[in-house]
């Protein structure tokens, strides 16, 4: 689980570190693992202080929802009449790859792979 640091938490962490408070006490106060606090302190120092961290950008990035759905087609799908390769009857098809009609796809020959 990632810790969502706020400016107040970062200021408190810096204050505790500057006062020389032990890591165990920092862990007890902030209720986060020591490794997380050590890394965060290094991050704050690399950024040059709390004032240089953009908290709004980070929270906005965390709010973005990830979609695992298939992307929608950009082009409109054309329904075209095609001839079924099994029964040779015309049926409405949604694309070039759809060359067997729904009725033939339900047959045992198609389902077992002998179609």
- In a domain? residue 46: yes
- In a domain? residue 74: no
Transcribe 40-90 into DSSP letters: HHHHHHHHTSGGG--HHHHHHHHHPPP--SPPPPSSPPPPEEEE-TTT--E
Task: Tell me: do 12 and 59 sit in the same domain.
Answer: yes
Any idea which of 1-15, 27-41, 69-83, 97-111 has the lowest mean pLDDT? 69-83
Residue 38: which domain range? 7-63
Would you place residue 102 in the very low, low, confident or very high pLDDT band (cuts 50, 70, 90)?
A: very high
Task: Tell me: do 28 and 59 sit in the same domain.
Answer: yes
How many structural domains does the chain have? Answer: 2
Please give the model's pTM, rounded to 2 decimal places.
Answer: 0.48
pLDDT of 19-58, one tens digit each? 999 999 999 999 999 999 999 999 998 988 888 777 766 5
């Amino acid at each position: 689980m990632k810790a969502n640091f706020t400016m107040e938490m970062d200021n408190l962490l810096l204050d505790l570190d500057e006062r020389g408070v032990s890591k165990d006490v920092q862990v007890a106060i902030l209720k986060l693992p020591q490794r997380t606090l050590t890394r965060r302190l290094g991050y704050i120092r690399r950024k040059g202080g709390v004032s240089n961290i953009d908290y709004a950008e980070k929270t906005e990035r965390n709010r973005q929802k990830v979609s695992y759905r298939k992307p929608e087609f950009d082009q409109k799908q054309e329904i075209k009449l095609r001839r079924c390769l099994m029964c040779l009857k015309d049926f409405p098809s949604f694309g070039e790859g759809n060359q067997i009609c729904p009725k033939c796809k339900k047959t045992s020959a198609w389902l077992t792979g002998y179609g």
